[in-house]
Amino acid sequence: MTTTLNLPEADLSPLDEARAQLRGAIDFLELSEGKYQMLANARREITVSIPLRRDDGEQEVFTGHRVQHNFTRGPAKGGVRYDPHVDLDEVRALAMWMTWKCALLDVPYGGAKGGVAIDPRNYSPAELERVTRRYTSELIPILGPEKDIPAPDMGTDENTMAWMMDTYSVAVGHTVPGVVTGKPISLGGSHGRREATSRGVVDVALAAMESRGLAPERSTVAVQGFGKVGRGAARFLWDAGTRVLAVSDQYGAVHNPSGLDLPALEAHVDRTGSVVDFDGSDSLDRDLLLELEVDVLVPAALEGVLTRENAPRVHAKVIVEGANGPTSAQADQIFKDNDILVVPDILANAGGVIVSYFEWVQGNQSYWWSAAEVEERLHTRMLGAWEAVTSYARAHDLSLRSAATIMAVERVAEAHRLRGLYP
């Protein structure tokens, strides 16, 4: 009989989902209520107002957040997202998941996350630079290569990181490349960082497919999201021989039952800015992409897209979470009942933080690795984590998500035990 951790009775917010997962791990490990309270709450949070003088002289004010969930195992680490729906609870949840991700992959960081409630599509590069620099200047007291190291996330990129690095460096009086990761190569970034999360997703996707007897050349996939993670994941799965039947972005979705031509689709997106109206495909409702008859589903957009409402209509044999928190606890239970293998986010999309760690290490050593070296080290770490999680899951009769969360929480709790409580 499969062990079932405590589950909520309905779909929850991302923060409540994260805390429910933590509660299940705490109960399984028989840790104290005090330990749960310590790990359920962030160590430090800051919310700032970000005034912007627009190019036409008008002024707007945005709200930004930075949450440092935990830094017992090392400096805080986590992305910065620009999205109009950013709020503090979302950032809290993402920071907590980042803590578990770092612990699971044995990267010496704690979890953090940041965000600004802004739609970057509506602002010029110069305006986004001003927003970034003001946001960074407000956070300078809590940032640093030994304190908190931001990285790109939804709506941000290597240019954002360059602005953050420069703002911090000017403030402290000398160049500090290690204050961020995901920087341009010319400013100390690492080869392979841009596509690292996508490569990690595909590394574990192929391993998960093999565990279910799915040969890539005879398998089909649908990818929700065609941004930083989804685009690379679709391309690398296509390179591996799978037929990518459908992809989506924020504007719509496209579908071809014979398989999409990924290089042509990428050229179309580069030219038009969206997957919509791609020749050789039919338009598809974005939500219906999740319910297609495919072997592998990669949700690589937002959290909370797989719920108790649509989970019974999901037909994929394997779900690989490219996004953070895309699956509710109730959906998880439905997938388990339907024998659908779910590779959890803290394992599947950990490639980005692994190569961020590589970038940080390279920066500290002032010695740079080749793209091939980075990809090989990433592949080794991802498959090592996959083997560890699947072995733990088998040994304890757990889902992969429960196993991954329990392993991560146990490592963080042990670090707390060894360090003790001050004062």
**What pairs with residue 6 in β-bridges?**
none
Task: Encode 168-206: b = buried (16+ Cβ within 10 Å), e = exposed.
Answer: beeeeeeebbbbbbbbeeeebbbbbbbbbbbbbbbbbbb
Structure tokens belonging to residue 140: 């300078």
Residue 380, CA distances (Å) to 150, 189, 196, 371, 410 in order: 24, 21, 13, 14, 23
Among the listed residues 77, 113, 183, 228, the single catalytic one is: 113
286 sits in which H/E element: none
Residue 142 to residue 48: CA distance in whole angstroms: 13
Q: Give the strands of the sheet with 341-343, arranged side by side.
A: 282-284, 252-255, 243-249, 220-224, 296-299, 318-320, 341-343
* Contact by Cβ (8 Å): 59, 51: yes
Structure tokens belonging to residue 300: 């690589």
Task: Give residues with Cβ within 8 angstroms of 73, minimum separation 6.
Answer: 102, 103, 108, 109, 110, 411, 412, 415
147 belongs to the catalytic site: no
**What pairs with residue 112 in β-bridges?**
68
* Contact by Cβ (8 Å): 66, 94: no
Residue 325, CA distances (Å) to 15, 94, 305 in order: 10, 8, 9
Residue 46 to residue 30: CA distance in whole angstroms: 32
Residue 206 to residue 215: CA distance in whole angstroms: 9
Which residues are identified as catalytic?
113
